Structure 1
Amino acid sequence: MTLVAFATGLSLVLILGMIHHVGVLTIVRVAPNFRASGHAPIMITFTCLLILHSFEILSFALVLAALLEINGFGDLGGTFSGTWEGLIYFSGMSFVTLGFSDIKALGPIRLVAMFFSLGGFMVLTWSATLLYSICSKIWQQDS
């Protein structure tokens, strides 16, 4: 089951990368022209990235719920109460803080959570780079 969990985690990060790539391409097309006056492109990009990351976190919570139903794949312990709130919280904490939370992954599912933390780090830095590049262009035009 360990190898299956490893492969599952790796596959989920690859899917996350594809989803994020499409999301970023969409954001770049949706954001107003960078030559536009004001800071609308920055705020629109920020808002769209927030929505994209929220979607990614919710998607992982759904995947977690499905994986927890597989016998022998592992469980969530600590303060996990079996609710959607707990799944979303664990998903988000794995995504943004490398998994430091009061909910603990137990068994092979730990590998999936580890990969989601890696994926979260990768797409968050990708998003930060996009936002920084847009801010730089706008701020250069304003000076």
Structure 2
Amino acid sequence: MGLIVGFILVAVMGVIHHFGLRALERISGYDKWQPNRTILTVFMGLLVLHTAEILLWAVAYLALQSDPLRPVFGQLIQTGGRTFGDLVYFSGMSFVTLGYTEMKSAGAIRLVGLMQSLGGFMVLTWSATYIYSAWQRAFRLAGQTG
């Protein structure tokens, strides 16, 4: 069950990321007189997009940790309680580093975390390719080498 839920969440994240990049392309434009502005707009937009994705995963973990779903998915275990900030931390670490945190997971939620790590790697590399392409286009239009 955790693998299926994780797969669905990664698919949703892919759709969000796609439309986020499309919106970012419209917002940043390609100003041949200000290529640095274009690149910095893309960078800040990606920062906002990735942060939003991490927060959405934290909300998903919060839902999966609710009383009706906890018996199905297991739990994230941490000494000293668990806050939404802890779930954001777990989500962020899963998103960027394959989930190595002080929080332990037990049950099917481990597979959700695994899928977040895979999805995080996928959108991070997608974003790296996007910013590289934006760099090339912005400085090519400006007639500079960057």
State TM-score, norm by structure 1. 0.91
Percent of residue pairs bearing the same amino acid type? 42
Match in the other structure for 2:144: 142
Question: Structure 1 residue 53: deviation in Å?
Answer: 0.4
Corresponding residue for residue 112 of structure 2? 112
SS at match of 1:35: coil
What residue identity is the alignment partner of 1:30?
I
SS at match of 1:142: coil
Residue 106 (structure 1) shift: 1.2
1:11 matches 2:8: yes
Contact 1:94 1:117 in 2 (8 A): yes
1:82-126 Cα offsets, whole Å, 9 max, x none, are: 101100000000001111111122111000000001000000000
Superposition map of 1:42-81 within 5 A? 42-69=39-66, 70-72=69-71, 73-79=73-79, 81=81
Residue of structure 1 equivalent to 2:121:
121
Q: Deviations over 1:2-56 (max 9, x none)?
A: xx21110110000000000000000011103242334001000000000000000
Between the two proteins, the alignment pairs up a number of residues equal to 140
1:87 corresponds to which residue?
87
Aligned position for 2:20: 23
3-state SS of 1:64 partner:
helix
SS across alignment from 1:90: helix
Tell me the distance in 1 between the aligned counterparts of 2:85 and 2:100.
17
Q: RMSD between aligned alpha carbons?
A: 1.4
Letter in 1 for 2:62: A
Partner of 1:103: 103
Farther-moved stretch of structure 1 (76-85 vs 101-110)? 76-85
Segments ≥4 residues shifted beyond 6 Å: none
Structure 2: runs of 5 or more not aligned: none
Q: Which amino acid aligns with 1:71?
A: R
